[in-house]
Amino acid sequence: MSTTDHDLATEQVYQIVIRTTPERLWEAITSPAFTTQYFHGARIDVTPERYTSRGPDGQSWGDDAVYEFDPPHRLVHGWRSLYDPDLADEPESRVTWQIEPRDGGLCLLTVTHDRLEGSPRTARGVSGEGWTTVLSGLKTLLETGSPMLPADG
Amino acid sequence: MVTYGERMTPDDETQEAVFRALADSSRRRLLDLLHARGGQSLTELEEEFAMTRFGVMKHLRVLSDAGLVVTRKQGRKTLHFLNPVPIRLVHDRWIDKYTEPQVATLAGLVPLLEGASPEEG
């Protein structure tokens, strides 16, 4: 099992149920007015061609191709971790967002981060707490209308 | 059995299923195996257990119903992945709530104690 660390994270799957409509969920994923509230403060803008992410001071955190753009169902884009100089040189990986409506006004969101074979540091960086923080924040934002605050009782 | 009144929200039901799924050492072991290496087939996972293939399958189904395991078809094989999000949500709801205020209280004592010490120096 010497390859455990490598295998660990070349394909990561995250799934969450959110009480919202597919349209609203799509908007929350693709427009900066929403993403600044749950995605580490990133201003993320998604067009049919391009996925761009900017930090609070306008620095580039991500600038990648969009491979599939099918609102409000499916979004596939490239991922390079430009927010961290140690990770920025690693090759592009891929992120897929899949939205499926469920009974009772719910949506099942599946995020798959794969093609991480050549990007072990990015794989480690986004795994576990990385994506779960973003997705639990997204759920809180859409279900309560306010971002999750650390000290909020 | 504890009852929670008339009806539970979907989130309550999910968390109930997560706690039930975690209350078994074989299922916790399956999660550890998938955490160490994602995308394993039933055959690969089965090798790690003394129980029958059917037994492992049953445990995987409980984990899957709780949202802790997500599967993907690849040819004739079904690959299993750990989904850590439900555990994160349980953590946010049930761990943070009970640990943070106490930490805050203890942290609040430090300046109080430091300031109250007359014999310092």
Span B96-110, pLDDT tens digits: 778 776 666 666 676
ipTM of the complex, rounded to two decimals: 0.84
User: Which residues in chain B touch residue A153, judged by CB atoms under 8 angstroms apart?
Assistant: 101
Min Cα separation B76/chain A (Å) = 19
Return the ∠ at Cα A7 (arms to A134 and B41), rounded to 5°. 100
How many CA within 13 A on the CB side of residue A80?
16
Q: Which of A5, A1, A4, A3 is nearest to A121 (CA)?
A: A5
- Reduce the DSSP state of residue B29 to 3 states and report it: helix
Min Cα separation A14/chain B (Å) = 5
Cβ distance A13 to B38 less than 8 Å, yes or no, reads: yes
Could you report the per-residue pLDDT of B3-21, keeping only the tens digit for each? 555 677 878 888 999 999 9
Between CA A33 and CA B11 the distance in angstroms is 26
Q: β-pairing, A50-54 with B77-82? A: unpaired
* Structural domains in chain B plus CATH codes: 10-113 (1.10.10.10)
Q: Which residues of B touch A (CB under 8 A)?
A: 10-11, 14, 35-39, 67, 70, 72, 81-85, 88-89, 92, 100-101, 104
* Structural domains in chain A plus CATH codes: 5-144 (3.30.530.20)
Outline where chain B has alpha helix (H): 10-22, 25-36, 42-46, 53-65, 85-90, 96-116
pTM comes to 0.84
Crossing angle, helix B10-22 and helix B53-65, to 10 degrees?
Answer: 150
